[in-house]
Homo-oligomer: A and B are copies of this chain.
Amino acid sequence: MRIVITGAAGFLGSRLARAILERGSLTDSRGNLRSVRELVLVDVVAPAPSTDPRMQAISGSLSEIDIVDAAIARETDAVFHLAAIVSAQAEADFDIGMRVNVDATRALLERCRTCAAPPKFILASSLAVFGGALPDPVPDDAPLMPQTSYGTQKAIGELLVNDMSRKGFIDGRSLRLPTVVVRPGKPNKAASSFASSIIREPLAGVAVDCPVAPRTRMWLASPVRVIDNIIRGHEAPAEAFAHSRSINLPGISVAVEEMVDCLRRIAGEEVANRVRWNYDPAIDRIVSTWPARFESAAARTLGMRQDEHFESVIRAHIADSGIGLTGPI
């Protein structure tokens, strides 16, 4: 297998790369289990160096056709397309969002048509493709009615993945990721970034603003679950999909105030009080258009799983980041 990951220097991309290398083999579009021979990591930021001989890095923008061509060589078997302009940035700058989220996605898909066999193509999509009046919980086949530019651009990607799969150009799957918590590192320009910050920063001894109302509900999943479900989405046979290649990944529905309550139970009053309710209408306007509960029926038939509860999500983050009870808690 020659496997490509875009956005590979990012949090999910680098974890996905590790998980694929550990796994050692994946199923190709003809249903054959094959060992991972080559894992190509593409990102504008140079991915972290590795001694694994299967790994190779390509640094550059997917807006440059040379980078796309180098990434998707003729013998490519699978593409995990994680690179994207995130929600708040795509909302602030329409053109850069279109260029990366639509044009680069299309360039990758077009390039896949030149491959020896139609590669699997996994698009990291988003619950931001939904909006307007929706049933609760939201089924897999709910209307695409995005209320943000990010959601619009992801919906366009989904439509292309569907049609190009139907045409036999690729074997595509669009996986609508829940908001992933707890992300390490610095906050980014995703409107959902605060959902990680309000757990991560207080645990590190730092005060943090929460820009949405306490009762705002979100659809959440831990990094471990999301990576596992992405790989299950890749492994699923094409026959598992009917009229659409789009799937809502499983998650748990949690109100922001419940998230802080969980933090309080685990880490104490002082830590939880580092969350300051500082309403930001620009962020809340984006987040409140996202539905907070999904059926994920298709995902469950593919063996995808959700987190047990939000406390286990926090505990996983604490274990992951090596925060001790003698630390800033």
Find chain B residues with CB under 8 A from A141 CB: 132-133, 143, 145
- A238 adjacent to chain B (CB < 8 Å): no
Q: Could you tell me the dominant secondary structure of chain A's interface residues? A: loop
* Shortest Cβ distance from residue A21 to the other chain B in the assembled complex, whole angstroms: 35
For chain A, the bracket of interface size reads: 20 to 34
- A163 adjacent to chain B (CB < 8 Å): yes
Quick one: which of B149, B162, B163, B244 contacts A163, CB cutoff 8 A?
B149
- With contact pairs A159-B152, A159-B156, A163-B152 given, residues A145 and B94 touching in the complex (Cβ less than 8 Å): no
- With contact pairs A94-B167, A146-B163 given, residues A243 and B155 touching in the complex (Cβ less than 8 Å): no
Find chain B residues with CB under 8 A from A48 CB: none
* Shortest Cβ distance from residue A110 to the other chain B in the assembled complex, whole angstroms: 9
Which residues of A, 116-161, contact B by the 8 Å Cβ criterion? 131-133, 141-149, 152, 155-156, 159-160
Pair B152/A243 contact, Cβ less than 8 Å: no
Closest B residue to A151 by beta carbon equals B163
Find chain B residues with CB under 8 A from A148 CB: 163
Find chain B residues with CB under 8 A from A143 CB: 141-144
Q: Assembly of this chain: how many copies?
A: 2
Find chain B residues with CB under 8 A from A142 CB: 143
- A54 adjacent to chain B (CB < 8 Å): no
Which residues of A, 63-106, contact B by the 8 Å Cβ criterion? 94
- A166 adjacent to chain B (CB < 8 Å): yes
Find chain B residues with CB under 8 A from A169 CB: 94
* Shortest Cβ distance from residue A129 to the other chain B in the assembled complex, whole angstroms: 9
| Most chain B CB neighbours (cut-off 10 Å) among A133, A149, A159 | A159
CA distance A133 to B141 in the complex (A): 9
Closest B residue to A166 by beta carbon equals B147
Chain A to chain B contacts (Cβ below 8 Å), 6 pairs? A143-B144, A146-B163, A152-B159, A152-B163, A156-B160, A159-B159
Residues of A with Cβ closer than 8 Å to B?
Answer: 94, 131-133, 141-149, 152, 155-156, 159-160, 162-163, 166-167, 169, 242-244
